[in-house]
Structure 1
Amino acid sequence: MPKVPVNDIDLFYDIKGQGEPLLLIAGFLCDHSYWSLIMPSLVTQYQVIRVDNRGMGRSSAPDSPYNIQQMANDVAALLDHIGIDQVNVVGHSMGGQIAQELVLAHPERVKSLILLSSLAKGDGRFNHLISTWGYLPSHIDLKLYEQVVLPWIFTDEFYAIPGMVEQLIEWAVNYPFAPATHTLYHHSRAILGSDTQDRLHNILCPTLILVGRQDILTPVKYSEQLAQGIPHSELVVIDGGGHGILIESLDTVISVMLKFLEKLPKLM
């Protein structure tokens, strides 16, 4: 699994499968492994590129301010390195913010856009929460941090599955590439500093916006705002899903994504 030097860091990436390129960008607290459950359904039809955002997983984690446009530039440099001119892009949560900046900066390189549980700009409650999540890691251990964060990610129904949440926390605590405390602070500030509201009309590629109806972190209203601002967009609200739809509503997400992608004209 290779790394590429871009913008003064080493960026980790992973490529699997054959077909049109499909880039997956994860969100806050997540690296490329967040897409693991969806990968088997994608690699049979697409060349799937996963990346660890700066600070996450096996990418470099400089202790300096990050911003969303910077992370989009990292991804663009990665595409240059692996020789991909045009790509379908999927971003979850903060990854969706990065994906928006990527298409705004390089519209010719993005064939289509899929925004999962994402936003253009947060409101007061969201900003307060993300700010707190940035400060907390310097005061509590990772296990307690996960216990604080996960209720915002999953629904009551998910919590009712015996042992499921405990299993996720155990996995996170033992993960060998857990993020540094300073990374979570810098990522939180990058999220807070991101705002595409007044530029959404410049996103002209076919766009799928997907959100869980029970998402309390990036609620449906955020996806509605994206859909209202992006001209060629389609909004799908999944009944029963929360923010963690890639885990909790996996089969539905796969079905909706593949139907959207299959409708697009093929890259030459």
Structure 2
Amino acid sequence: MQILMPQSHLNGVVIFFEKKGYGTPMIILVHPPVLGSISFLQQIDVSALLAIRFDIRGHSRSQASQHPLTCSLIAEDIKQLMDHLEIQEADLCGYLIGAAIVLEFLLTHPNRALGGIWVGGILGDT
């Protein structure tokens, strides 16, 4: 089954994302490097709130980056995705190293995050 996701040119690359559900609260799901946003397929299908999943640069349907992949670069991609979707603030959920990306986002953009959820979180190089 192929899932078609919208795309946007953000922070120098094309990022694919899916937005499902309505209203608030809202959650942005962050997968770890190597895996794709497909990691959150079940969660986005059963979520009772507005959920957004996206493929980080160089993964699945998002364009590869000319820059080294770092937690801070992906955190900036998330901020720009939120700007593109006109989202002022949201909760973020990170899986494995995705949790380190969420932590970086919370540290660099605290006014844009309502909170963070770490699922099996491990820290990476931020």
Using structure 2 for the length normalisation, give the TM-score.
0.89
Deviation (angstroms), 1:39: 2.4
Residue type of the alignment partner of 1:90: C
2:65 equivalent among 62, 65, 69: 62
State the partner residue of 1:158. none
Higher helix share goes to which structure? Answer: 1
C-alpha separation in 2, matches of 1:80 and 1:62: 20
Does residue 112 of the first structure (1) align with residue 84 of the second (2)?
no
- 2:15/2:57 contact within 8 Å kept: yes
SS at match of 1:62: coil
Match of 2:41 in 1: 36
Query: Tell me, which stretches of 5 or more residues in structure 2 are unaligned?
Result: none
Once residues 114 and 105 of structure 1 are traced to their aligned partners in structure 2, the CA distance between those partners, rounded to angstroms, is: 16
1:63 shift after superposition: 5.0
C-alpha distance in structure 1 between counterparts of 2:61 and 2:45, whole Å: 22
Work out the CA distance in 2 between the residues paired with 1:30 and 1:106. 24
Aligned alpha-carbon RMSD (Å): 1.3
Deviation per CA, 1:86-136, whole angstroms, max 9, x where unpaired?
10110001111111111111111111210011123xxxxxxxxxxxxxxxx
* Matched AA of 2:11: N
Q: Of 57, 71, 74, which aligns to 2:74? A: 71
Instruction: Give 3-state SS (helix, strand or coil) of 1:48's partner.
Output: strand
Q: Give the AA of the match of 1:112.
A: G
Q: Would you tell me which structure has more strand in proportion to its own residues?
A: 2
2:15 corresponding residue in structure 1: 11
Aligned residues: 121
Amino acid corresponding to residue 21 of structure 2 in structure 1: G
RCO comparison, higher one (Cα < 8 Å, 6+): 2
Flag the 1:33–1:105 CA change in 2: closer, same or farther, 3 A. Answer: same
* Counterpart for residue 93 of structure 1: 96
User: Structure 1 residue 28: deviation in Å?
Assistant: 2.5
Give the fraction of aligned pairs with identical amino acids, expressed as a percent. 26
Distance (Å, rounded) in 2 between the aligned partners of 1:110 and 1:93: 19
CA distance in 2, matches of 1:70, 1:115: 19
Match of 1:51 among 22, 32, 54: 54
Shift of 1:30: 1.1
